[in-house]
Structure 1
């Protein structure tokens, strides 16, 4: 081995030792997405923490960085009061417990990454003028002024408090504007159930294509005699729509043509379409199911993936969906006891 190559390897090892504070050791069956999901970080975060990582060539025993001390950013700007992160904390909980909005919390801690909060980390909870002092809160449309069932703050709080990264503004706009016309959702509680399911299905509004199908389109899967030539109908959209007959029916109902049937990838590439299709699926398959209108969250899980999660081998996943729902209810200021019934009970 030449001196230059040896020096590069040594530098890389020293760099990783300095920039990484926690590792995952690859075991049989691991893929990048499952590793990221296990540690509640995004796939992009995982790739940024491991420059040059080839997710197609993971090997057993490989060390993957999943936490870096460099991701812990000190609070910026003028701060009069700090909070020390404790086990179980997340950004929305810290903000709520200290009497500030999540938007104020972000403004007080410019650049903070809520996926990388570490026990012992200091975060700012009050500006120079007292609680939230000196912070300009981003205004959000209210229910009374716009007719939206939830405000932008409520939407952001719901996503972030569930352990996911902050959503984009266009995601909020599409979410609130399509709930009624495409999903027939008129109650805040049902919209909370919908969002909880969508967060789980899409990995926190991140993945609009079925992860396992990104490389080869899942050739040989989801195939029927009625498929349009050259099209593959694997999961797309926030609810992971599959099979050509669903793409065709959604296209006809939403647009009065076959655009999604003849060009299925639009569902993954256009955020408005991704939301429209997901609300359409909810309207057709979930909205009218017994128990949904009375708040039985398990009934929505049963409608979406009941064969596997309500009586099959993955009931733990149904419970994880319910845990997200409980957080969304609080973020939406719906202070009622969440009902788990309708799936496996």
Structure 2
């Protein structure tokens, strides 16, 4: 054990593999200050993969449950920060899901400490990355939907929206039953492009089931805002908005609503945009997703007589996309499918 305490905010740490058991033992001591120092040292220690593995697999996690109810908000916040660090690795997520920590952790979503609530959202967002985690959080979706309107901090809003996206990709029905289309729709016009991107991603997940498509059509404000987002400066915002429209125009009502809102010129404009060859690989992937969604939306819109008539007038523009030598194979194939539907005759 270290001979002198050089940092008053941290507990002295034993050498090697004795450090983790020693610090978890310190958590049982009386006095919030001692527990806080031990938690701070643990947070430092679990940045090392070996110590993180030891903390997760050594049966220590159950000791954290009592700290969720600690009277000191700093202890509660630091406990959740430790869980956030542990769940940044897959083994930590699996361990938390296998433990009994999730129900008491979720109760801290209403904690008086903002730091505590933010760390809880970080943990939940990590857990939602696993299908088992998203499934475990489905019962929490109604509460998370309401939190969107209450939490003002941008990071927390992003975490909330991201968690809801993962859950809704697994099962959109809890979100749809919680007025998710209307609540997410309010975030589509947010000043932050990050919020707009995540809100559109969550909306895309909700628009997959038939009921989701109908709700998007029935909300008077959502589709006009989404069509406006097709002109957003952020490519991911554009792609997610195009994805919602792609899903919505599968049904007849969606086709008619989008045609009435004059979506075709906007979609065709995205199809004909030129971009330099100096785009990074990640940006090329985002643009590809955008173009694929646009082409699939155009294909569905061509199934409506009005849509086919308008698209036949712009057929050379679509054909040019199929003939472009630099185009990706998937984009060419999607373009050829769109042309077949546009030129179909009974």
Q: TM-score range by the shorter chain?
A: under 0.3
**TM-score, normalised on structure 2?**
0.27
TM-score of the superposed pair, with normalisation by structure 1:
0.27
Structure number with bigger Rg: 2
Judging by fraction of residues, say which structure has more strand: 1
